[in-house]
Amino acid sequence: MVLNDYLRKFRIKLTVKKSNFEQVNYQFHCFKKGEIMKNPYAISDFEKLRKNGFHYIDRTDRIPNIENTGEYLLFLRPRRFGKSLLLSTLKNYYDMGKKDDFDTLFSDLWIGQHPTPLANQYFVLKWDFSCVKCHGTNTEIEKSLYTHVNDRIKRFASDYAHLLPMKIQINECDGISSFESLLTVIIRHLINYIFS
């Protein structure tokens, strides 16, 4: 569907204005509700987008296809094509820590009406390796990587503290050791869950 057809289908008027700096500003007018629709340009956080009333084009009908595709997925798309937003959507969908927010985030979307058995069933650990500096000596790069790994594990431990049976040990000098500790705690959680 081309943009004009989409805009016509949802009765949206697109106004393009040139500012003094020759930047294009987009303003969406939704005639159905009589209010200005918020454009989510450069927002890749699904939860923020949904809870703050930004416009979202529902693509959640693809989640069952993703589940049935295979074990390893690779998303190859150019910049600004929604890869980060898709991953954020999947994080919120599968994250067991978001079970209480499921209706708020998904109730009016396709997947909210047709949830799969895997909804809110997983621990989710998010990595963002763009935070790791990739210049300097090998020791500096390794330290930056371990710092990021440890920071993400600390965030994971905080988010799931109520579900984890024991504390994750953080080794500030070795992110791999911290990750091994995280895996040990998750395995202990699974064993407790299976045999309880």
- Looking at residue 17, its pLDDT comes to 47
In a domain, 32, yes or no: no
Q: What pTM did the predictor assign? A: 0.75
The residue range of the domain holding 176 is 129-194
Whether 20 is covered by a domain: the verdict is no
Burial status of residue 72 (CB atoms within 10 A of its CB: 0-12, 13-18, 19 or more): exposed
pLDDT value, residue 7: 52
Indicate the number of domains in the chain. 1
- 79 belongs to a structural domain: no
Whether 80 is covered by a domain: the verdict is no
Is 62 within the bounds of a domain?
A: no
How would you classify residue 121: left for phi > 0, otherwise alpha for psi between -120 and 50, otherwise beta?
Answer: alpha
Helices 175-194 and 138-159 pack at an angle, to 10 degrees, of 30
Q: What is the pLDDT of residue 72?
A: 85
Q: Do the domain assignments include residue 26? A: no
In a domain, 143, yes or no: yes
Give the pLDDT of the chain (196 residues) as one tens digit per residue.
455 555 555 555 454 444 444 444 444 444 455 566 788 888 899 999 999 988 888 999 999 999 998 888 887 888 878 889 999 999 999 999 999 999 999 999 999 999 999 999 999 999 988 889 989 999 999 999 999 999 999 999 999 999 898 999 999 999 999 999 999 999 999 888 888 7
pLDDT tens-digit readout, 58-71: 999 999 999 998 88
